[in-house]
A and B are shown apart, each in its own frame.
Chain A
């Protein structure tokens, strides 16, 4: 990370705004047990008068078919959605970075094999692959969601890093290091990798956003986490049946997804601006 954050212009509006949004949702997820006004799985003994309530004083976001408080469910859903988004990205990034570094640096047949595999995974519709994998894994749940998303989401990082390495390999400062007699390990890890860190970091923020969306997609199809766990995606899936009659069932989890994804994107944009060393004054 040497020099990554050195210099001025450390704080751009994007970073502040993005961090603020994410802090808000992060706290929501962490403190959901304290903040939630009700138990998100509690079904009232008598459904009549509690089912599908519109937003009102004692149920800010309304209730679902089984009379469960939607605000509490959205708060608890934040935990799973953010957890999946971040964990998948943390697993996927080192895989993609390693593949990209090797493909870009060694080139030739190594590059051919690695990148054709990447292309194949990329070209295959992600959702179809996810459905197929879920079927193979039999038991849908938190772990299967993470495994499935990991299997399809490493490709973009690999491509990004390979591209970076290819252009860096032509850079004179890398040639200078080769001319000085540096070994492969030193070139890759001390010179190529640090120069890829900024774009990787930016890609990670966008990646988390995509993972959250992908999890929501799986949840929406019923292939995501299973009840009694809730995620924003599974809330959407439950609510979509009543989309025209009781729109709040989809609007609130949808808003949560939109705002979080937006937060990550704004943060990513801000990081991109700040991490470019040429922009440092």
Chain B
């Protein structure tokens, strides 16, 4: 399968000052060597706890941030080497849906203006044509023409996410990055929005990078899932394989945290000790070792590398 998006050894360090006065400079290693590829029409799930670098990865892929190191290729185009004109073309092909349905829509613009903004920027339609296209997009996401003149505050969270999706689809993207698109929604609404994502993928042949911290959501929608911890991918496998056979102790702990619907089922909940370490002072060796229940000799000195332990199943752990 020809990959649509290839991310190679992507790094983003944010400089911070340590100390009050003459602070030495330090780096927050938000993303520290992330590599993955997404095939055309595929959905890659990206999970991890808050602050592990998921959203930064998303913003880097879209070049909303400039990376410290690494490469992103969209099709054959190297994203970080694209000039202004190429970048402008690329922006049409990669779009994003944000997490917060409240801050992701301009409160001072009507739905028609919000959804039509991409059409105007890329000179795709104007006047009546724009109105019709916006109506079409709204219908595609389950809203209607009658919503065009309204303002974001008149909508519910789920409806606002639909508006955000329509805005992203307006320019006809191939890749849609969904940055925790349902985390802020009620569970009942989550299912509807996820179904919408699936319908749209079928209709439009979209490719998804689907970010979430909820494993159930990701499992449902993803073909493959990557698990991130402290700026790195620790495990990457086909969705079913990852859930049936999690290898990394961190993945195992995450999976054990999913609530079970059947109260009779007994399960072993793995409680991780402590908090994730600060990305300013990354632990030596394996980044997970201070919290890992299975740590052994080399873990605190030697960093494991992401290896393919069975076909398509990659893990970064000394146990394998």
Contact = CB atoms under 8 A, between A and B. Distances in A.
Interface in A26-71: none
Interface residues of A, number: 23
Interface string A196-238: 0000000000000000000000000000000000000000000
Given A171-B103, A172-B98, A173-B106, A179 B62 contact: yes
A173 B96 CA distance: 11
Interface of A: 2-4, 6-7, 171-173, 175-182, 186, 191, 194-195, 277-278, 280
Given A180-B91, A181-B91, A277-B153, A175 B59 contact: yes
A278 B64 CA distance: 27
Given A176-B98, A182-B117, A280-B153, 9 more contacts: A3-B110, A171-B103, A173-B106, A176-B96, A177-B106, A180-B95, A181-B91, A181-B121, A277-B107
A1 to B, nearest CB: 9
A179 B96 contact: yes
B64 A277 contact: no
B164 interface: yes
A254 to B, nearest CB: 40
Nearest to B94: A179
15 contacts: A2-B108, A3-B151, A4-B108, A6-B151, A172-B98, A175-B98, A176-B167, A177-B106, A179-B62, A180-B121, A181-B87, A181-B118, A277-B108, A278-B107, A278-B153
A186 B108 contact: no
Given A176-B164, A186-B121, A194 B98 contact: no
B217 interface: no
Interface residues of B, number: 32
Nearest to A183: B121
Nearest to B122: A181
Nearest to A177: B117
Contacts of A172: 98-100, 103-104
A180 B103 CA distance: 16
Contacts of B91: 179-181
Sort A-B residue pairs by CB-CB distance and give the 4 closest, nearest first.
Answer: A181-B91, A172-B104, A172-B98, A277-B107
Contacts of A179: 62, 64, 91, 94-96
A195 B153 contact: no
Contact of A3 (B59, B108, B164): B108
Given A172-B104, A180-B171, A2 B64 contact: no
Nearest to B177: A179
A182 B106 CA distance: 14
